[in-house]
């Protein structure tokens, strides 16, 4: 009986493995795009915070030394402070971007490697199912949901950046708060909806894979 069912089960699990690879590859692309947006948003936020922080720190120091009034009476010194603060902010922003890129690449490296190895290991003719292929699929099914969950707080970052931009260009704090809240809620909703819909499908793939893997191994 097993010998009769073996080709069918082999084909089923082969199809399941292919589906896992394809959906994982799509998720990898989504995560890369989202992390790119996170890097830009974090770099921008860092630039603004450092710019403001350096300027405020210098002004507070001058005030504590009783030199603030004299400093403000010389426009050239004010321009020098703005320039120094701006350069500090830009340098910090660029540094933040490249440090985050290095971190993000490291986080996705394992998943990318697993998908690539899976594509090589998974045979095209249905006869390439090996213990390695099954093991790689298990690792992907465990790692991917963890990486997706780590991105659930990105919506708050996007909301803060939207608040700053709206407050600056709108020159209105209330408008900035409103825009920031709307952006935060939108990305939060999108992230939650995507996670619930897509990951639930992925978990179903995992359940089917585990059952088919068990049935397949029993025929060996």
Lowest mean pLDDT among 25-39, 61-75, 120-134: 120-134
pLDDT at site 122: 63
Rounded to whole angstroms, how far apart are CA atoms 6 and 3?
A: 5
- Give pLDDT, residue 123: 52
Q: Show the domain range for 134.
A: 2-218
Query: Which span out of 119-128, 169-178, 197-206 was modeled with the highest average pLDDT?
Result: 169-178
Choice between 80 and 124, residue whose per-residue pLDDT is larger: 80
**What is the predicted pLDDT for the residue at 6?**
58
**Residues 133-143: tens digit of each pLDDT:** 777 888 888 88
The total of structural domains in the chain comes to 1
| Mean pLDDT value across residues 90-115 | 91
pLDDT band at residue 50 under the 50/70/90 scheme: very high
Q: Is 168 exposed, middle or buried (0-12, 13-18, 19+ CB in 10 A)?
A: exposed
pTM value? 0.75
Average pLDDT over residues 160-177: 89
Q: 183-217, pLDDT tens digit by residue?
A: 999 988 887 777 766 677 777 777 777 777 776 66
Residue 57's pLDDT band (boundaries 50, 70, 90)? confident
pLDDT band at 182 (very low <50, low <70, confident <90, very high): very high
CA distance 213 to 9: 9
pLDDT band for position 25 (cuts 50, 70, 90):
confident
Give, in order, the Cα–Cα distances in Å from 69 to each of 54, 90, 115, 133, 149: 18, 28, 63, 72, 51
What integer pLDDT is reported at residue 179 of this predicted model? 93
pLDDT value for 27: 84
């Amino acid at each position: 009986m097993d010998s009769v069912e073996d080709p069918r089960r082999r084909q089923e699990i082969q199809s399941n493995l292919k589906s896992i690879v394809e959906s994982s590859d799509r998720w990898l692309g989504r995560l890369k795009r989202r992390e790119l947006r996170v890097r830009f948003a974090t770099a921008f936020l860092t630039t603004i915070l450092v710019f403001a922080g350096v300027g405020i720190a210098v002004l507070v120091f001058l005030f504590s030394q009783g030199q603030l009034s004299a400093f403000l009476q010389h426009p050239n010194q004010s321009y020098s402070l703005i320039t120094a603060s701006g350069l500090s902010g830009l340098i910090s922003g660029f540094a933040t971007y490249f440090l985050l890129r290095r971190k993000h690449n490291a986080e996705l490296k394992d998943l990318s490697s697993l998908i690539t190895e899976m594509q090589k290991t998974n045979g095209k003719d249905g006869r390439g199912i090996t213990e390695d292929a099954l093991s790689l699929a298990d690792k992907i099914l465990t790692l991917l949901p963890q990486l997706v969950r780590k991105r659930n707080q990105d919506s708050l970052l996007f909301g803060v950046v939207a608040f700053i931009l709206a407050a600056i260009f709108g020159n209105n704090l209330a408008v900035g708060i409103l825009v920031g809240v709307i952006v935060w809620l939108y990305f939060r909703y999108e992230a939650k909806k995507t996670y619930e819909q897509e990951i639930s499908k992925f978990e179903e793939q995992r359940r089917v894979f585990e059952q088919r893997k068990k049935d397949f191994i029993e025929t060996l």
